[in-house]
Amino acid sequence: MRWEQGIFLTHLINQTYRVTKCLHLLPFCVFLCNNTTRDREDYLEKEYFMTLAKVAAQRSKDPNTQVGACIVNQEKKIVGIGYNSMPNGCDGQLTWTGSEDGFDWPDTKYPYVCHAELNAIMNKNSADVKGCTIYVTLLPCNECAKLTIQAGISKVIYLSDKYNDTAVMAASRRLLDTAHIPYELKLNFDSINPSGMRNNAAAERDEEAEED
């Protein structure tokens, strides 16, 4: 009996030692948990997709207004990109003249040009664009707002609304509001402008030189 009690006590002491040793490691384990490498939270998302829309806009042959659009699905995958252009087969055959040049409407670009939103939807690489977000460099006009609604796009993010005071844009906003499709202008490219970063660095160096 005493022999069995001795074995039990020895086992109990060993277990107690192990528990005590583990308790000593507990602060270190907590430190590791709190300092585990996590995903970045300041990565670019909206700026990335809008940059692609801006690059697409540079493909436009319109000498006055270049617009680009990028459609992104709920998995943050690009499903369509477009820019304002003439219809297929009409390149070089129709004018890019604007109404400000004094021409009648049939002799301007407006009856013929395909807007960036239309081309992005037509260029889609998925079955549809329902639930997608469209990034466009200019707030969609009323015609593109109708197209956006009918295509099932759920959100519009735009970079400029320079025609904000026109009747066309008033109609566009009314359409989007009525269809409960949010549209927002919340991008700041200054924070990711490489030249701006260099200018800031140069300014800091100048300040340091003045202090010396």
User: What six digits make up the tokens of 58?
Assistant: 């540079």
Alpha helices in the chain (DSSP H): 2-34, 46-57, 116-122, 142-151, 167-178, 194-211
Q: Under a CB-based contact definition with an 8 Å cutoff, are residues 155 and 145 in contact? A: no
Torsion of Cα atoms, 136 then 81 then 73 then 37, to 10° = -90
The active-site residue, picked from 47, 75, 117, 207, is 117
117 among known catalytic residues: yes
According to DSSP, residue 86 is labeled P
CA distances from 143 to 63, 69, 108, 151, 172 (A): 22, 15, 17, 12, 8
Which positions are catalytic?
Answer: 117
